[in-house]
Amino acid sequence: MLLAEFDYAAPESLDEALALLGGGGNVRILAGGQSLLPTLKLRLDRPDLVVDLRKISELSYVREENGEIAIGTLTTYAELLASDFIESGVARCLAEAAASVGDLQVRNLGTIGGSLSHADPAADIPAAALALDCTLVARSEEGDRTIGATDFFHGLWTTALLPSEMLREVRFRKANGGGAYEKLRQAASGFALVGAAAVVEMDGDTIAGARVALTGVGSAPLRLHALEERLAGETLGEELLRDVCGDAGEAIESPLSDIHASAEYRAAMAGVTARRAILRAAG
């Protein structure tokens, strides 16, 4: 409960914040604080400086731009869920993922950008970001840099972001099709024991294209490219999905095993949740 000492800054502009980030030292961004504060309380992280972004109101929005939905990094789960842009279509997977996060208090404070930057291996938003093939916009004093979702997650709590960068925005294309997120909860934390996000575009009974991603199963969320390829062009059916998703677990390099579930169970549940998500996304 008792934090170690650190300096604290709450800049009112993006440039000020970026200057602080670029200034070197062990600097941490504070967004919703829902992951950072527990880490600080347990003294697992001891930054020299904490830069609180919450006074920079321009970082909080959900809007449509050039056929894309753009989400500001500081947008909370609750704000996202209140937006019309994610109610239907492919974005459903993001809405369902956000709705499954924690409890109301956490959804009122935690941010989309915070979840992606924190890159907890069992977080829900990263799976949706992969299934939506999001573009992540990083910002430093040098300007913007865009990173594809598949290149963003590097492993346990590590991303492509550089120490001098912050995540500024997340974007995805407003494509045809549907989306869904399926989650088995780890009973203690409420995070995903296994989570599967799917985006599916149908052409009649035929699967025109699908993107499927898992979270909770390994050190980082992952796209199931091989599975997606096997689905493309096939007629949607229970048997096909059982067959294809039955192997979903094989894509996980070293499935997580802990007191909450074995690797074998996680791998099997990857198949079950993927199948259920695809079916609903298609439906």
Partner 1 sequence: MMATTVPKLIGARIRRKEDPRLITGSSTYTDDLKLPGMLSMVLVRSPHAHARITEVDLSEAEGMDGVVAIVTGADLEGTVAGLPVAHNLEDLKEPPHRPRSIDKVRYVGDAVAAVVAVDPSRARDAAERVHVGYESLEAVVDIEAATEDGSPLVHEEEGSNIAFEFPFLAGDVDEALLNADVVLRLRLMNQRQIPVALEPRSVIAQFDRGFGKMTLWSSTQIPHLLRTQLAIGLGFPEHSIRVIAPEVGGGFGSKLNVYAEEFLAAHLARTLGRPVKWTADRSEGFLATTHGRDQLNDVEVGVDGEGRLLGMRVRMLQDLGAYHQLLTPAIPTLTVLMLPGCYRLPNLEVHLSGVFTNKTPTDAYRGAGRPEATFLIERVMDHIAAELDLDPAEVRRRNFIAADDFPATTATELIYDSGDYQTALDRLLEVADYAGLRREQKERRARGEVMGIGLSTYVEICGIGPSAALPAGGWEACTVEVRRTGAVVVKTGISPHGQGQETTFAQIVADRLGVPIEAVEIAHGDTDYVPEGIGTFGSRGMAVGGAALSLALDTIRAKAKKFAAHLLEAHEEDIEYEGDRLGIKGAPDRFVTLEDVIGAAYLATDLPEGVEPGLAATHFFEPPNFTFPFGAHLCVVDIDPETGEPTLRRYVGVDDCGNVINPMIVDGQLHGGIAQGIAQALFEEAVYDRNGQLVTGTLMDYALPKASYLPNYELHRTTTPTPVNPLGAKGIGEAGTVGSSPCVINAIVDALSPYGVRHLEMPARPEKIWRAMGSGASE
Ligand X SMILES: Cc1cc2nc3c(=O)[nH]c(=O)nc-3n(C[C@H](O)[C@H](O)[C@H](O)COP(=O)(O)OP(=O)(O)OC[C@H]3O[C@@H](n4cnc5c(N)ncnc54)[C@H](O)[C@@H]3O)c2cc1C
DSSP 8-state symbol, 205: T
CA distances from 239 to 245, 246, 272, 273 (A): 10, 10, 13, 15
255 binding ligand X? (CB under 6 A)? no
22 binding ligand X? (CB under 6 A)? no
- Residue 115 contact partner, candidates ligand X, partner 1, none, CB within 5 to 8 A by sort of partner: ligand X
CB 89 within 8 A of CB 46: no
- Considering only 11, 102, 209, 246, the residue that binds ligand X (CB under 6 A) is 102
169 binding ligand X? (CB under 6 A)? no
- Residue 246 contact partner, candidates partner 1, ligand X, none, CB within 5 to 8 A by sort of partner: none
Least Cβ distance, residue 101 to ligand X (angstroms): 4
Token pair of 177, please? 């099709």
Least Cβ distance, residue 273 to partner 1 (angstroms): 8
Token pair 């930054």 is found at: 47
Least Cβ distance, residue 45 to ligand X (angstroms): 7
CB 79 within 8 A of CB 36: no
Q: What is the largest CA-CA distance in the chain?
A: 60
Q: Which of 24, 25, 29 minimizes the C-alpha distance to 9? A: 29
19 binding ligand X? (CB under 6 A)? no
Distance CA 139, CA 88 (A): 30
139 binding ligand X? (CB under 6 A)? no
Q: Is 11 or 190 the residue whose CB approaches partner 1 more closely?
A: 190
By residue count, the chain amounts to 283
Which residues sit at the interface with ligand X, rule CB under 6 A? 28-36, 73, 101-102, 106, 110-111, 113-115, 117-118, 120, 123-125, 161, 166-167, 190-191
